[in-house]
C-alpha cells in the first residue's frame, strides 16, 4: 500500500494480512489520494479500514461455520445411532453364544447317555449268563447266574462221577448248577496230588445267590451216601450251625447228625468216643485252642500277622492236647473230608454260607 502527500513524503510500512488470505479483498488492493482535511492521519485511517475489513472477514467466517454446522449436527445422530446398533449386535452375539452353549450341553448329555449305554454293552460283553455245560439233570437255578466272558470261553471237563442224589433232584431242592459243584468236587476227590500223593481238594468260589451252604450240604450228603461217615465243617460262627442243619433237612438228610448239639461244646479227649459218625461243626477259633482251654496257636497267629508263617510253627498246633490234633485224629480214622467255610457274603434265607 503506497500513498503520496505534499506534507509527508514518507511511505508507511507494509501491512500483513491475516493467515489464509492469499489475495486481499479488492477494496484493499490500492488506496491513493490526498488525506482529507479534519480526518485521522492517513496511516491510522488505513488501519481502521483494515480492522473493519477484518471484522467483515470474521463475520464471513462465522457465517461459513454456521453454514457447515448443520452437516455436523446431522452427523451426530448417525453417530449416536451406531451405539444402539452395537448393542443389538452384542445382544445377538450373546444369544448365539447361549444357543451354542445349550447345544453343547445337549450334545454332552447325549454323549454321556451313549457312554452309559456303551458301558452297559461292555458289561453285557464282560459277563454272560451261566448255564452248566454238561449237566442236564435237575431244575435250572432259581436265580440268574453270570460268569465272566473269560471263564465262559473255557469249556469244563465232561463229568465222570456218578452221583447218588437222584431223589434230591426229583424233589427239586437242588438245582443243576449246585449239582455241578457236587460232581466236579468228587471228581477232584478221586485224584491224588503228584507231589505228595494226598487227595486233591476242590475250591468253591461261587458268589452270593448260588447257595454255597446248600452246595456244602449236598457234598456232605453225597459223601455220606458214598460211604463216608466223618465230615468236618469249619465256619466263622457257631450260629451258622443251625443254617447247616436246615440245609441238610431241606435235602432230606436229617438223618446225618451234626455235632455238637444245641449249645454243647466240643468235649476233650478222643472225639470218636463221643462222635462216632456225622458232621463236626466247629469254628476257626476252636482250631487254635487247647482242649483244656487256652490258645495253643498264639505263636502261629503272631507269625502270620508279621507276614511269616513257617511250616514248623504250624506244626505246633498238632502237639498233643491241641484241638487241631484232636480233630485230625478224629478224621484220620474214617478218611473223612474237611470243608472250610466262610460267610463273607450274605445269601438269602435258603442259601447261607
- Residues composing the chain: 353
Q: Kindly give the residue spans of alpha helices, DSSP state H, lying in the chain.
A: 42-126, 149-152, 166-171, 176-189, 212-225, 240-250, 284-287, 298-305, 311-314, 323-332
Q: Which long-range contacts (CB under 8 A, 24 or more apart) does 128-134 make?
A: 128/152, 130/177, 131/177, 132/176, 132/177, 132/179, 132/180, 134/158, 134/159, 134/180
For residue 178, give the nearest of 227, 145, 224, 152 by alpha carbon.
145
> How would you write the pLDDT of the chain (353 residues) with one tens digit per residue?
444 444 444 444 444 445 554 444 444 444 444 445 444 455 666 677 777 777 777 777 767 666 555 544 444 454 444 567 777 777 788 788 888 888 888 777 777 766 666 666 555 568 888 999 999 999 999 988 988 888 888 999 999 999 999 999 999 999 999 999 999 999 999 999 988 888 999 999 888 889 999 999 999 999 999 999 999 999 988 888 899 999 999 999 999 999 998 778 899 889 999 999 999 999 998 888 776 555 545 554 555 455 554 454 556 667 777 888 899 899 887 788 999 987 654 444 444 43
Contact of 337 with 343, CB cutoff 8 Å:
no
Question: Taking the model in full, what pTM does it have?
Answer: 0.59
Instruction: Centre a 10 Å sphere on the Cβ of residue 190 and count the other Cβ atoms it contains.
Output: 10
C-alpha triplet 302, 304, 309: angle, nearest 5°? 115
3-class DSSP state of 328: helix
Amino acid at each position: 500500500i503506497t500513498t503520496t502527500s505534499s506534507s509527508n513524503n514518507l511511505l508507511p510500512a507494509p501491512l500483513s494480512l491475516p493467515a489464509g488470505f492469499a489475495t486481499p479483498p479488492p477494496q484493499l488492493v490500492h488506496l491513493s489520494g490526498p488525506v482529507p482535511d479534519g480526518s485521522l492521519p492517513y496511516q491510522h485511517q488505513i488501519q481502521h479500514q483494515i480492522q473493519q475489513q477484518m471484522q467483515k472477514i470474521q463475520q464471513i467466517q462465522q457465517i461459513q461455520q454456521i453454514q457447515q454446522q448443520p452437516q455436523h449436527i446431522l452427523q451426530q445422530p448417525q453417530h449416536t445411532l451406531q451405539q444402539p446398533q452395537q448393542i443389538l449386535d452384542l445382544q445377538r452375539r450373546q444369544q448365539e453364544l447361549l444357543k451354542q452353549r445349550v447345544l453343547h450341553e445337549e450334545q454332552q448329555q447325549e454323549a454321556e447317555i451313549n457312554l452309559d449305554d456303551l458301558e452297559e454293552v461292555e458289561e453285557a460283553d464282560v459277563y454272560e449268563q451261566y448255564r452248566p455245560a454238561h449237566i442236564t439233570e435237575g431244575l435250572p437255578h432259581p436265580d440268574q447266574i453270570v460268569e465272566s466272558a473269560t471263564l465262559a470261553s473255557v469249556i469244563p471237563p465232561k463229568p465222570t462221577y456218578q452221583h447218588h442224589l437222584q431223589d434230591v433232584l426229583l424233589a427239586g431242592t437242588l438245582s443243576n448248577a449246585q449239582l455241578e459243584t457236587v460232581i466236579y468236587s468228587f471228581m477232584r476227590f478221586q485224584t491224588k496230588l503228584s507231589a505228595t500223593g494226598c487227595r486233591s481238594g476242590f475250591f468253591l468260589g461261587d458268589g452270593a445267590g448260588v447257595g454255597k451252604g446248600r452246595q456244602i450240604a449236598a457234598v456232605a450228603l453225597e459223601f455220606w451216601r458214598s460211604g463216608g461217615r466223618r465230615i468236618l465243617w469249619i465256619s466263622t460262627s457257631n450260629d451258622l450251625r443251625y443254617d447247616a442243619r436246615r440245609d441238610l433237612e431241606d435235602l432230606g438228610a436229617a438223618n446225618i447228625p451234626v455235632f455238637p448239639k444245641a449249645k454243647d461244646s466240643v468235649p476233650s479227649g478222643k472225639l470218636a468216643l463221643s462222635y462216632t459218625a456225622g458232621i463236626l461243626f466247629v469254628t476257626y477259633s476252636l482250631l487254635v485252642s487247647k482242649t483244656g482251654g487256652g490258645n495253643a496257636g498264639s505263636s502261629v497267629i503272631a507269625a502270620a500277622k508279621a507276614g511269616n508263617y513257617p511250616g514248623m510253627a504250624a506244626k505246633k498246633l498238632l502237639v498233643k492236647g491241641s484241638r487241631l490234633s484232636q480233630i485230625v485224629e478224629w478224621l484220620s480214622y474214617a478218611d473223612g473230608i474237611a470243608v472250610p467255610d466262610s460267610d463273607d457274603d450274605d445269601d438269602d434265607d435258603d442259601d447261607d454260607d
